Amino acid sequence: MLKITDLSVYYGMVCALDGVSIEMPERAICSIVGANGAGKSSLLRSIMGLVKPRSGSISFEGMELTGREVHNIVREGVVLCPEGRKIFKSATVLDNLMAGAYTCRDNDKVQANLDRVFSLFPRLKERAKQMGGTLSGGEQQMLAIGRGLMAGPRLFLLDEPSMGLAPNLVDMVFETIVGIFEQENIPILLVEQNAEMSLSIAKYAYVLEVGKVVISGTGADLLGSDEVREKYLGA
C-alpha cells in the first residue's frame, strides 16, 4: 500500500536520505530501525509532506503523494503521530483529540472515532476535561496516539512512540500498537530506537544507516541477524 522509490532528502547541503526505496504491503506492521541521525524521522516527514524530497517518489495505494500538501495527505488517510508527542499542553484532553479530527466533516464519524479512542484508552475518557500538560508521560503518549486515530488513518505512522518513557510504559505502548493493528485493522509504519521491541512486532523491517537502507527482511529475520544484533541490539 506504500511504495517509496529512490527517495533523496537534503537539508541544505546535508543529505538525510540517499536513494531510499521501501515497499509496505497492505496489512502489516512495518518497522524502520537505525541509530540517531540515520534518517528515520526524515522518512516519515517526507511521507507526510512536511519535507520536500529532492528526488524520488512516494505513492500510497497507487496515488502519488510527493508534492501534495499535508492536509490533503491526511485526508487520504495517512496520519503521523510525531516524535515527542507534540500535544497541546494548554488544551483539554478532549480538545486535543478533536484537533485530530479537523479534516473530518462527518459528525457521526467523529463521534464514532472518539468512542473508539475512549474504548482503547479509558484513562483519556476519565481525564477528558483535564489539561494535556498535566498528564503523565504515558498518558500524553496515549493522547498523541488517540489524536492520530481521530483522523481515521488508513496508514498510521508512529515516530518514536516509546521515547522518554519508563520501561513498564514502553511495554504498554507496544501492546497498544499491536492492539491498534489487530483490533482496528490499521497498517502501521513504526520508527523506533527500541529496535528489539520494534522488530519483535513487525512483519517487515528496514534498517537505515546514514540515509541508506542497508538491511531489509522480515522482523523475525532481522531480529535473528547477527549483524543487526551486534549493531543495533547490543548483543
Q: DSSP string spanning 97-157?
A: HHHTTTT---HHHHHHHHHHHHHH-HHHHHTTTSBGGGS-HHHHHHHHHHHHHTT--SEEE
Of the residues 152, 187, 209, the one at which a domain ends: 152
Same domain for 141 and 175, yes or no, is no
Residue 17: inside a domain, yes or no?
yes
Residue 97: inside a domain, yes or no?
yes
Same domain for 8 and 32, yes or no, is yes
What are 191's three cell numbers?
Answer: 520508527
Same domain for 182 and 220, yes or no, is yes
Say which CATH number the domain at 207 has: 3.40.50.300
Residue 61: inside a domain, yes or no?
yes
Of the residues 128, 152, 176, the one at which a domain ends: 152
Residue 158: inside a domain, yes or no?
no
Give the count of alpha carbons within 13 A of 145, CB side only: 30
Same domain for 148 and 168, yes or no, is no
Q: How many domains are there within the chain?
A: 2
Same domain for 56 and 39, yes or no, is yes
Same domain for 73 and 52, yes or no, is yes
What pairing do the DSSP bridges indicate for beta strands 63-64 and 55-60?
antiparallel
Residue 157: inside a domain, yes or no?
no
Please list the ranges in the chain whose pLDDT falls under 50.
none
What's residue 232's pLDDT?
75
Same domain for 179 and 71, yes or no, is yes
Do residues 173 and 162 make contact, with C-beta atoms less than 8 angstroms apart?
A: yes
Strand partners, 212: 209
Of the residues 105, 123, 152, the one at which a domain ends: 152
Distance of alpha carbon 30 from alpha carbon 94, whole angstroms:
30
Evaluate if pTM is beyond 0.85.
yes
Same domain for 170 and 218, yes or no, is yes
Identify the domain containing residue 146 by its residue range: 84-152
Say which DSSP state 131 is in. B
Same domain for 183 and 233, yes or no, is yes
136 — phi, psi (to 5°)?
-70, 170
What's residue 84's pLDDT?
85
Do residues 57 and 4 make contact, with C-beta atoms less than 8 angstroms apart?
A: yes
Distance of alpha carbon 144 from alpha carbon 142, whole angstroms:
6
CA distances from 194 to 70, 102, 125, 184 (A): 28, 31, 29, 24
Query: Of 29, 65, 73, 62, which Cα lies nearest the Cα of 187?
Result: 29
Residue 194: inside a domain, yes or no?
yes
What's residue 235's pLDDT?
55
Distance of alpha carbon 49 from alpha carbon 42, whole angstroms:
10
What's residue 25's pLDDT?
84
Strand partners, 205: 31, 217
Same domain for 1 and 50, yes or no, is yes
Taking phi first (over 0 means left), then psi (-120 to 50 degrees means alpha), and beta for anything else, what does residue 46 get?
Answer: alpha
Same domain for 58 and 171, yes or no, is yes
In the three-class reduction of DSSP (H, G, I as helix; E, B as strand; rest coil), residue 195 is classed as: helix
pLDDT digits (tens, 9 = 90+) for 100-144: 999 888 899 999 999 999 999 999 999 999 999 999 999 999 999
Residue 159: inside a domain, yes or no?
no
Residue 38: inside a domain, yes or no?
yes
Same domain for 6 and 59, yes or no, is yes
What's residue 209's pLDDT?
94
